[in-house]
Amino acid sequence: MVANDEGGIRWTETMGVPKGRAVDEGPRPRSGPDNLLGVDESINAADVWREIDYDVAWAPFDQRFAFSANFHEREHPAIRLSDDCLVLDLGDVFANDGPRFAAAETAINASGLRAFVWLAGDEELTALDWQHPAYRYSPALQSLTDAAAAVPVFPNGDYFAHMTQDLWWGTFGHPWQQTLTIWGVDMIETLGAELLTWLPRHPQSRA
């Protein structure tokens, strides 16, 4: 190897790289638990998740979907389903525990965030958690932090919903019926199509 004029390193054929191809301009990015590639350590949860008024946040969702919380209801949907609602059956996920459950839960949450980032861009979404704080948040910023989401997509323990502010598309998770409802053509064609490769449609599904 030969030092170039800027003090970098010019790799030669004797090092297994074609002459003139790669120049080392400084330290390479580090990966690992202390410095994950793609993670911006300057972003914290307060930058991503902004708590908003609970009743105001739920009002548009309630108006469109006539949400009815009922722990004991196992057949009738908790929301009014329109023709653009795809309902996925999470029963096989909940039937497992340990690594299988954890892997499936992580995959669904990651797929949801990927779809949100692709479709929402820099826009904020509304996130609802039944009887817990509601939020506006940036999926784009969430993707750049390794902090857990304040409201996940996978319904592990409560009703969770994510949506655009105009409710054009979104998700609704029902932990007791073990379903994930996806609405809006764009969301169905992205997140829905991906999850249908390994999750079955639920009988409630309209799409």
pLDDT, averaged in runs of 10, over the chain (207 residues): 43 38 42 52 73 97 94 86 95 96 98 97 96 96 90 96 97 97 97 98 93
How far CA 199 is from CA of 6, 86, 92, in Å, comes to 54, 12, 8
In a domain, 201, yes or no: no
pTM for the model stands at 0.80
Q: Which residue blocks in 78-138 are alpha helix, DSSP H?
A: 91-94, 98-120
29: in domain: no
> According to the model, what pLDDT value does residue 166 have?
96
User: Is residue 28 assigned to a domain?
Assistant: no
Q: Tell me, what's the pLDDT at 4?
A: 45
Structural domains of the chain, count: 1
Per-residue pLDDT, 37: 53
Cα–Cα distance for residue pair 151/158, rounded to 1 Å: 10
**Looking at the domain assignment, is residue 55 inside a domain?**
yes
pLDDT, position 3: 45
User: What pLDDT is attached to residue 146?
Assistant: 83
- The contacts of residue 164 (CB under 8 Å, 6+ apart) are 120, 123, 125, 126, 170
Residue 206 domain flag: no
pLDDT score for 45: 62
CB-CB contact of 151 with 131 (8 Å): no
User: What pLDDT, on the 0 to 100 scale, is given for residue 196?
Assistant: 98
Is residue 202 in some structural domain?
A: no
Can you give the residue range of the structural domain that contains 85?
45-195
